[in-house]
Chain A
Amino acid sequence: MSAATRTARSRPTRVGPSRVLAHAVLIAAAVYTLFPLVWLFTAVTKTTGDLYTTGMFEWNGFRLFDNLGALFSESNGIYLHWYLNSVLYAGFGALIGAFLSVCAGYAFEKYSFAGKERLFGVVLLGVLIPTSALALPLYLLASATGVVNTFWAVLIPSICNPFGVYLARIFARGYIPDEVLEAARVDGAGELTTFFGISWRLMLPGFATIFLFQFIGIWNNFFLPLVMLSNQDLFPVSLGLYNWNSQVALEPQFYTLVMVGAFVAIVPLIIVFILTQRFWRAGLTAGSLK
């Protein structure tokens, strides 16, 4: 967003002790950040026994593929089942949620109608309600209506994304000049034709940003599936790993299963995350605007 200001700046080229110190601190921060991940990546290549007896960079043979085999065959391949569930919850939830957020955010920004700002205030209120405080009431409501312990009990509350509407409104302000809409109106195009024909395409980067934020949000959610689901076949990865982890005290081989499961769960996320940096920055910049 600030590409123009970034290129225009000049940097002092002096190399002083303070500059060396600053870089040392930055490298230390990066080491702190990466160390747990590097450790996880080494741990998944070892047997459970070697985990106790070998140092971080000591190997008695490379066991990653044996461990992966054990992960996917445990309890008739339930891990893959959990993984697909996570993909479905996060994928569908974020796809529908981001689409509806863009529609609503666009309408809030570009149309004028009675009570608009008051309605938007209600949406903002939704942003500030802690999701974990909502989970118990959602559970009671789901129990009363009989949807508890179903796919929908997790999916439907996940779709609703008031923060997405807030972001979409800011993106609509930044990406779509009012002149474009005026020109379309003069040409006689209806509002919805303009939205789906012209504006939607201009909103695509915003859609991608909201989709990514929501996808990670749903994938990371633990409290909602925990209260809603008791059927293991409906668990997302997080809940499944939590269940396995509860057994490590009795059966230490679960240490390895949990770590390999965690490894398989985060590697694709990290890769996608790095590839989509620019959308994250766009979202963070817009999200912290006042």
Chain B
Amino acid sequence: MRRKNRLRLGEGRAAAILIVPFGILFVVGILLPLGYGLTMSFFTEKRSGLGVGTPETIFVWFANYAKVLSDPVFLQSFGTLLLYCAIYIPIIILVPLALALFVDGAYKWARKTIPLLVFIPHAVPGLVAAIIWAYLYTPAISPVLKALGDAGDILSPFTNSSVLVPSLVNIAAWEWIGYNLIIYFTALQALDQSTLEAARVDGAGQVRIAWSVKIPQVTSTTFVVALFAVIGALQLFTEPTLLRSNDPTISSTLTPAMYAYLVTFTRNDYGAGVAASILIAVLAAVISYSLNAFGRKKGFA
């Protein structure tokens, strides 16, 4: 009983005890590196003319940001990303939504097994998914490309560089369609059944119900799906890096994250590398903020 009394603390102190351990990790794992990176992005290392001796660290204001933003290679990586998003975002919203609508109206066996099967790739690490697809894109070993013969060479990013971006989209779609399918399917199951019943009694067909009743009601889910898709796309690194290890002719600065990595580790320009990273993070923040604000204005989110 005495022990119990000793542990009897106010809510504030209990909250502090439960939150502080996480808080320390949050500071060490997120705030501190963010602050340190921000500081580093305002400095550059200058070596003496011959490139020997201890480098001198000097404060350069926004010079690193200016350097990165005026680098055509960095801007080009955003161009690639834009193309990637233009293909990826519609696919990763529409395909899971369509599949979820089909599952919602399907037989019981399909409702039980299909979401589970399509969700399985999400357990496969991104790097391993990229490996499997890279080999399926290799004409000499891929059963699909072998069967297609000459047409197979056109579909492989290793023999036809113009399908590189769609090939990356395919890997990401394979990993995420099931994830989004479950999100949509759950949202559809939570819909008010009486509205659907009313539409049915009014003589609306399945397609009409899906289009006019179900889809408008899951718009807020679409915002969440789109938000995660954009943030994920901005980080695109693992899959293209893996494909590059099979085909060195793929650009080492294909995506913004690859650019930041290259500048940091190959050019050893830490200031510029961190500046690029921070620009990516800022863009992610701006996009999620505006998507949220837009959704709120429209009353979806």
Q: Is the CB of B242 within 8 A of A245?
A: yes
Q: Is the CB of A113 within 8 A of B4?
A: no
Known A37-B120, A130-B235, A190-B4; judge A144-B187 contact (CB<8 A): no
Q: How far is the CA of A140 from the CA of B277 in the complex (A)?
A: 12
The main secondary structure of chain A at its interface with chain B is helix
Query: Most chain-A Cβ atoms within 10 A of its Cβ — which of B18, B98, B106, B133?
Result: B18
**Partner among A1, A245, A270, A274 whose Cβ is within 8 Å of the Cβ of B131:** A245
Q: Is the CB of A128 within 8 A of B123?
A: no
Q: Is the CB of B18 within 8 A of A103?
A: yes
Q: Which residues of B contact A188 (CB under 8 A)?
A: 4-5, 8
**A143-175 interface code vs B (CB 8 A; 1 in, 0 out):** 010000000000011011010010000000000
Known A191-B9, A193-B4, A281-B182; judge A128-B285 contact (CB<8 A): yes
A269 within 8 A of B: yes
Known A39-B143, A129-B34, A270-B123; judge A111-B15 contact (CB<8 A): yes
A22 within 8 A of B: yes
Q: Which residues of A contact B261 (CB under 8 A)?
A: 136, 223, 227
Q: Which residues of B contact A249 (CB under 8 A)?
A: 246
Q: Is the CB of A26 within 8 A of B245?
A: no
**Partner among B5, B21, B140, B179 whose Cβ is within 8 Å of the Cβ of A103:** B21
The main secondary structure of chain B at its interface with chain A is helix
Residue of A with least CB distance to B247: A249
Q: Is the CB of B29 within 8 A of A9?
A: no
Query: Most chain-B Cβ atoms within 10 A of its Cβ — which of A23, A55, A125?
Result: A23
Q: Is the CB of B40 within 8 A of A140?
A: yes
Q: Which residues of B contact A19 (CB under 8 A)?
A: 105-106
**B230-259 interface code vs A (CB 8 A; 1 in, 0 out):** 010011011001100110000000000100
B residues 8-50 touching A (CB-CB < 8 Å): 8-19, 21-23, 25-26, 28-30, 32-34, 36-38, 40
Q: Which residues of A contact B172 (CB under 8 A)?
A: none
How far is the CB of B91 from the nearest CB of chain A, in Å? 12
Q: Is the CB of A191 within 8 A of B26?
A: no
Q: How far is the CA of A39 from the CA of B177 in the complex (A)?
A: 20
Q: Which residues of A contact B127 (CB under 8 A)?
A: 220, 222, 238, 241-242
Residue of A with least CB distance to B35: A137
A-B contact pairs, 14 of them (CB 8 A): A23-B106, A26-B103, A36-B132, A39-B132, A39-B136, A104-B19, A123-B26, A141-B36, A157-B29, A190-B6, A195-B18, A223-B261, A242-B241, A245-B134
5 extra interface residue pairs, beta carbon distance < 8 Å, beyond A129-B30, A223-B235: A18-B206, A37-B120, A192-B9, A220-B126, A290-B224
